[in-house]
Structure 1
Amino acid sequence: MCGIAGVIHNDKNRAIDSQTLVNMAAIQYHRGPDNFGYHNPQGAGVGLSHARLTIIDLDEERGRQPHVSSDGRYMMVHNGEFYDFQRIRASMTAQGARFGTKSDSELVLQMYPHYGIEKTVEQLRGEFAFSIYDREEETMYLVRDRFGIKPLYWTETEHGVVFGSELKVLFAHPEVKREIDSEGLYHQLIQVMVPGSTAFKGINQVPPGHWIKIQRKDGKLNIEQHKYWDINFPQAEAHLNVKDEEEYIEGVREQLLEAVHLRLNADVPVGAYLSGGIDSCSILGLSASVRQDPVKAFTIGFDDADYDETPIATEMAEMTGAEQIILPLSAEHLYDHFERTIWHTERTIYNTLGVAKLLMSQKVREQGYKVVLTGEGSDELFAGYPAFRKDMFLYGLSDLPDNLRTDLQSTLAESNELFKGAMLPREEFNSEAINQKVGFTPTCIQSWMGCDGFARDLMSKDHQANIKSYDAGRAIAEQFDESQLEGRHPLDKAQYVWIKTMLEGQILTWGGDRVDMANSMEARPPFLDHYLADYAVNIPPQMRIKGPVEKYVLKEAMKGLLPETLYKRQKFAFMAPPAHTDEKKWNALMELMEEFANEKRIKEAGLIDYDALKQMIDSHADPSVPRDHKVQMDALLNHVLGVQLLHYHFVEQDIPKKAAAKAHELGWAA
């Protein structure tokens, strides 16, 4: 894992400043502290830079990027991992390719001239973001992995295109403007974002499963977006051809084991995150069965028993002989690290779980580990979230008797009472545009879109006016591929919507890459192996959710690895205790609000209406306000604090100057 950056100018004779490229690498030092490199050949109008975290091929000089072909025609930078790369490298060598490193990254440099971009990407397996430039064709590709595990941002400037692994990398370039726009502000407040967007005007993401082609013609850059992969659920009638249950169970077991085995490949030790959920327990169990030595497992412990999963995690660690490291966290201390977390997430967070994850990755690095396996993606593929069960009960079981449907929904609501207002909506919300595209508004985004009225009230009057006629549901729905929804089963539709919105925009961002790489720590999610995903989408909905049991087929596949307590219990959402549940934590939140969201700073930023904010804070003291309402208000207050911190770090501060200072501090110079 690393950090990448680059610039391509409209005019190939316009030089790329070398120190700017170095500064863009330095500002993301946390992504790659082991070394850096840059390449900006004269007369190309292109420059690339790279900050390296050594995982595969630890040779400091040999693995340095950018990689450049021997004839100078091709140059590339890469962030992430390509799995099964040894087999592909052997095949390419047999065809005459000559590799200069033992790194997986060099694959693309050898494959692209031989296969072209389409066939190259088709063969890549893993989590990655890379750029390759063909000097003869004057064409650059920005490529992102299938699920968006690795980030990749880009923007247009007066003179060309700037790209990088993080927003701060783009902002380190003096020509990139930094402005939070009205729609971006609104989506930060409601948590769910328009796929491909950011909080900042003109700053885009390469969508998961896409590449951006940038070609220079006649002194202009032509920019095209191309989709090379999508999560592809079958037509609903295909689920009627059900195979024997045991065949699906064995298939999941085989596919997941292969995905885990591949991700244990590294030239450094590999550990595992371990919560009390089936996902991380399955990963640990399979890892322990594959490896000869004990796995080191890292667990977050909360001081609120309602949210703490340490006992089950410990039981799992003992079953597998893993060496468990527990990081106990006190609720009020999570806000001590909230500001630092926002600097890294570059978007708002609704819950301090993101802070807890950042502190856990720090603990991993302190233990001398750079790589862990994680359980992200399991809920998305095997329908683990409570919202999926609700949609299954409402829309996916047409022949279900009404009394049984009511019983199942009641059981679901009771077992997830703690998370109502977050993982489950406080009240039903429908988007006409999403209804038209999907057939219904999936429960998984209702909690966040249901914040619409609160979010608009919290915005300053100018920003409110700018989005007066804005339809967030329509903006989100327009990014869904209708061909991937038409004729699909309701559960498949709900999972598709979550994967396209909250998986990439939340789980893999502030719950994944950004808080892990904040401490130079690589997280590998085996469940998001695209071969496993292609298998999982064909599992009938009634085997993903069987009666009240979520992730049924996965549980059965992993039954022998799991503690009985975990095997029998329903899904328990993993989140940090909300602020209102602990007086000390609430006070810690209020201290931060007083520092960054006081009346003076609110008015200077011009994003939030201070009176509306004060009214919301005051309502928390009212004992008559229901718990689920407070859960939702907690999320909104975290978002308000987040947008104020985004403004402070990325608009108020001089990021190019900060990047230059970081390069000077590190001794990185052109």
Structure 2
Amino acid sequence: MCGIAGLWSPRGYSDNTPKLAEKMADRLYHRGPDGRGFHFDPDHGLAMIHTRLSIIGLNAGDQPIFDKDAGLVLTANGEFYDYKRLRGLLRTDGFEFTTKSDSEIALKLYRKHGFDFVEQLRGEFAFAIFDEKKEQLILVRDRFGIRPLFWHNGPNGFFWGSEMKAMLAHPDVPREVCPKAQLHQMMQVMVPGMTLYKDIQAVLPGHMLIVTRKGDGFEVEQKRYWDAEFPLDGHHDVRSDDEHIEAVREKLVESITFRLEADVPVACYLSGGIDSCSILGMAAAIQQSPVKAFTISFDDDRYDEAHIATEMAEKAGADQDILRVKAEDLYGKNFEDAVMFSERTFYNTLGVAKMLMSKHVRDVGYKVVITGEGSDELFGGYAQFKADLFLHDPDYAATPAAEEMRKRNAIFSGSVLAEETISHPAFEEVMGFTPSWIQPWMLTLERVKPLLSDEFKARLGDYDPIAAIAYSLDKSMLDGRHVLDKVQYSWIKTMLEGQILNWGGDRVDMANSLESRPAFLDHHVAELAMRIPPHVRVRDGVEKWVVREAMKHVLPEVLYKREKFAFMAPPAHTDVKKAAEIDKLIEKWLSSEKIASHGIFDEAKMRASIEEYRKSDDHAQNTRKDIILNHAIALHAMEELI
């Protein structure tokens, strides 16, 4: 796990290039405190940067890695699993290895297979290969976007980095903010590839960029090598329930086994959900020894799952470590740091809590954790997914489960569940319906619009962010699919990468040099899950049914029977201490001076909205106001913090 960055200038080097490369590396120190390496190639105007977090090959994994015979250079972030088997196969083909690093297999596979080499790679990764002979740079991001990677192509060169802050350390990368992106961040959902900055893009998950020098500039080709492809409705795998259950168990065991491999101790994150509990149970069985388990506990019983996590830890014989997060911990400098590391806004302070957890995990001596992200996305775990099943699948429509589910999840009304139904013609066109997962954010947008300044609205023109999100989806991957597959696909392409894996994953974990490994997002597990029939993923209203059955032997009964409960931090309005803390951030970042300098909001309307929020006792409306305030504070803070 590491940080990478670089620049390729058609004009060649300036005298300052090595010094600027050092500055870029400095901004990635948290991603690689164990060492740094550079490759300077003045003849090509190239600088490649690597900061290292040592996990595998502790004394023999320095980068960049060279294949001098082929004229190739690699810098990589992340892990390639099953690398020992691949090294053995490549050796039989005559390839020689100069390091013990798992990353070197990417160079040899590229030599052997050309651009098809990515199909052989398994893991969480973002990397760059420079092909000197072809004068090409290849940037690759893993299938789900677990590891971040950004790029900018401008008149002064091509730049890339694991985080935008590394690129922005170079004066030739412009800082012009995109008003469309600001609007998207205020409503939570980004268009894939979009960032806060107009001229910086994210490499899309499952894609590679092929950058070729053309005279004094660069040609950039974007190539998709993988997508979350669900079968046509009625074409899912035909197996018995027992066969589906055993297949899921087998693939998860394989995935977790790979993710336990490291030259440093590996721990697990443990919440009260079946995903992290399943991973802990399987990890303990595979290791046949106690596993260290880290749990977040909130000071609000309605949101706290620590007691369930403790029951799981006791069943698995794990060494549980509980971090108790208080109201004041979630705001102030911690909030600002989470914004700075995430490089985007967030609707809930869960990301702050996870950043505090990653610091605690490092403080007690761990560098690697296995996590449960991805299970809900692949096995139909979210309440929003079930809501669409109940609405649009005739086999579920007649059940009373939808209303019962809404009552049980009333605490999340105004955040992840919409308090009223809303639709949009673009989603109706692309998907045939407006998915329940985006409706809360559409309602957030409706409450944001009146707060915007006339100047900001003029900059937006007639831009429709909901249509932009809908039309970013590949309709060919949606046509003819079952409703559950449609909603899972649309979420995977937007919220998984933009939210769950960002401020809920890599960015707040690596803020403290902690590598997180989401076992459910192994693409072998994913491809199996996508072929499982919808009624096996969600059975009689029970989400993730096949996972529950596959993990039944390691789960406590209370957890096996428990409905999915969204894991989030208590919103600010639920506690007077939290309200006091967010007021301090409002005073600092939503002052008259800040509002005027950024020009996003109409000050009078924002002030009135804040006063209304302070006086209201409507939980759903206050939850939505909490969301808007979190975003507004972060938007103003971000430009100064990154």
Q: TM-score, normalised by structure 2?
A: 0.98
Residue 117 of structure 1: how far off its partner (Å): 2.2
The answer as to whether partners of 2:348 and 2:568 remain within 8 angstroms in 1 is yes
Q: Partners in 2 of 1:277 and 1:203 — Cα distance?
A: 36
The answer as to whether partners of 2:55 and 2:262 remain within 8 angstroms in 1 is yes
Residue 331 of structure 1: how far off its partner (Å): 2.0
Q: State the one-letter code of the partner of 1:569.
A: R
Residue 637 of structure 1: how far off its partner (Å): 0.5
Q: State the one-letter code of the partner of 2:36.
A: F
Residue 197 of structure 1: how far off its partner (Å): 0.3
Residue in 2 that maps onto 1:412: 405
Q: Partners in 2 of 1:577 and 1:632 — Cα distance?
A: 13
Stretch of structure 1 that moved more, 131-140 or 218-227? 218-227
User: Identity of counterpart residues, as a percentage?
Assistant: 49
Is 1:106 the counterpart of 2:107 in the alignment?
Answer: no
Q: Partners in 2 of 1:494 and 1:72 — Cα distance?
A: 44
CA shift digits 1:633-668 (9 cap, x unpaired): 110110001101112224xxxxxxxxxxxxxxxxxx
> Which of residues 160, 164, 174 in structure 2 aligns to 1:163?
160
CA shift digits 1:361-415 (9 cap, x unpaired): 001001100000000000000111100000000012x14564x2xx211111111
Q: Partners in 1 of 2:29 and 2:603 — Cα distance?
A: 36
Q: Partners in 1 of 2:396 and 2:80 — Cα distance?
A: 45
The answer as to whether partners of 1:334 and 1:352 remain within 8 angstroms in 2 is yes
Residue 14 of structure 1: how far off its partner (Å): 6.9
SS in 2 for 1:478: helix
Q: Partners in 1 of 2:239 and 2:112 — Cα distance?
A: 40
Q: State the one-letter code of the partner of 1:220.
A: G
CA shift digits 1:150-180 (9 cap, x unpaired): 0000012222211000010110111111122
Q: Partners in 1 of 2:639 and 2:68 — Cα distance?
A: 44
Residue 90 of structure 1: how far off its partner (Å): 1.1
> Which of residues 305, 313, 316 in structure 1 aligns to 2:312?
316
Residue 567 of structure 1: how far off its partner (Å): 0.9
Is 1:48 the counterpart of 2:58 in the alignment?
Answer: no
Residue in 1 that maps onto 2:266: 270
Residue 25 of structure 1: how far off its partner (Å): 1.1
CA shift digits 1:560-605 (9 cap, x unpaired): 1111111111111100000000011011001111012111122122
Residue in 1 that maps onto 2:26: 26
Residue in 2 that maps onto 1:634: 626
The answer as to whether partners of 1:333 and 1:585 remain within 8 angstroms in 2 is no
Is 1:176 the counterpart of 2:199 in the alignment?
Answer: no
Q: State the one-letter code of the partner of 2:5.
A: A
Residue 293 of structure 1: how far off its partner (Å): 2.5
> Which of residues 310, 327, 344 in structure 1 aligns to 2:323?
327
Residue in 2 that maps onto 1:527: 520
Q: Report the RMSD for the aligned CA atoms in angstroms.
A: 1.4
Q: Partners in 2 of 1:13 and 1:604 — Cα distance?
A: 36
Q: Is there any run of 5+ residues in structure 1 with no aligned partner, and where?
A: 651-670
Q: State the one-letter code of the partner of 2:197.
A: F
Q: State the one-letter code of the partner of 1:488.
A: R
Q: State the one-letter code of the partner of 1:31.
A: R
Q: TM-score, normalised by structure 1?
A: 0.94
Residue in 2 that maps onto 1:74: 72
Q: Partners in 2 of 1:149 and 1:400 — Cα distance?
A: 33
Q: Partners in 2 of 1:217 and 1:335 — Cα distance?
A: 48
SS in 2 for 1:454: helix
Residue in 2 that maps onto 1:550: 543
Residue 113 of structure 1: how far off its partner (Å): 1.7
> Which of residues 479, 497, 509 in structure 2 aligns to 1:504?
497
Residue 75 of structure 1: how far off its partner (Å): 0.8
Q: Partners in 1 of 2:385 and 2:624 — Cα distance?
A: 20
Residue 314 of structure 1: how far off its partner (Å): 0.5
Residue in 1 that maps onto 2:81: 83
Q: Partners in 2 of 1:505 and 1:294 — Cα distance?
A: 34
Cα 1:400–1:71 change in 2 (3 A) is closer
SS in 1 for 2:251: helix
Residue 41 of structure 1: how far off its partner (Å): 1.5
> Which of residues 248, 252, 259 in structure 2 aligns to 1:252?
248
Residue in 2 that maps onto 1:612: 605
Residue 16 of structure 1: how far off its partner (Å): 7.7
Q: Number of residues paired by the alignment?
A: 641
Q: Partners in 1 of 2:572 and 2:407 — Cα distance?
A: 22
The answer as to whether partners of 1:332 and 1:586 remain within 8 angstroms in 2 is no
> Which of residues 150, 155, 169 in structure 1 aligns to 2:147?
150
Residue 193 of structure 1: how far off its partner (Å): 0.4
Residue in 2 that maps onto 1:538: 531
Residue 464 of structure 1: how far off its partner (Å): 1.1
Cα 1:590–1:46 change in 2 (3 A) is same
Cα 1:430–1:101 change in 2 (3 A) is same
Residue in 2 that maps onto 1:140: 137
SS in 2 for 1:349: coil
Residue in 2 that maps onto 1:667: none
Q: State the one-letter code of the partner of 2:9.
A: H
Residue in 2 that maps onto 1:653: none
Q: Partners in 2 of 1:92 and 1:451 — Cα distance?
A: 52
The answer as to whether partners of 1:199 and 1:347 remain within 8 angstroms in 2 is yes
Residue in 2 that maps onto 1:235: 232
Q: Partners in 2 of 1:390 and 1:67 — Cα distance?
A: 49
The answer as to whether partners of 2:41 and 2:47 remain within 8 angstroms in 1 is yes
Q: Partners in 1 of 2:20 and 2:275 — Cα distance?
A: 42
Q: State the one-letter code of the partner of 1:578.
A: P
Residue 126 of structure 1: how far off its partner (Å): 0.3
> Which of residues 549, 572, 579 in structure 2 aligns to 1:586?
579
Cα 1:57–1:533 change in 2 (3 A) is same
Residue 461 of structure 1: how far off its partner (Å): 2.0
Residue in 1 that maps onto 2:9: 9
The answer as to whether partners of 2:390 and 2:397 remain within 8 angstroms in 1 is no
Q: State the one-letter code of the partner of 2:504.
A: G
Q: Partners in 2 of 1:462 and 1:262 — Cα distance?
A: 53
CA shift digits 1:256-301 (9 cap, x unpaired): 1110001101000000000010000000000000003310000000
Q: Is there any run of 5+ residues in structure 2 with no aligned partner, and where?
A: none
SS in 2 for 1:5: strand
Q: Partners in 1 of 2:302 and 2:328 — Cα distance?
A: 16
Residue in 2 that maps onto 1:39: 39
- 1:253-652 pair list within 5 angstroms: 253-336=249-332, 337-396=334-393, 398-400=394-396, 402=398, 404=399, 407-623=400-616, 626-650=618-642
SS in 2 for 1:615: helix
SS in 1 for 2:331: helix
Q: Partners in 2 of 1:399 and 1:556 — Cα distance?
A: 22
Q: State the one-letter code of the partner of 2:177.
A: I
Residue in 2 that maps onto 1:658: none
Q: State the one-letter code of the partner of 2:618.
A: P
Q: Partners in 2 of 1:144 and 1:401 — Cα distance?
A: 39
Stretch of structure 1 that moved more, 423-432 or 303-312? 423-432
Is 1:195 the counterpart of 2:188 in the alignment?
Answer: no
Residue 114 of structure 1: how far off its partner (Å): 2.0
Stretch of structure 1 that moved more, 141-150 or 214-223? 214-223
Residue 457 of structure 1: how far off its partner (Å): 2.3
The answer as to whether partners of 2:209 and 2:220 remain within 8 angstroms in 1 is yes
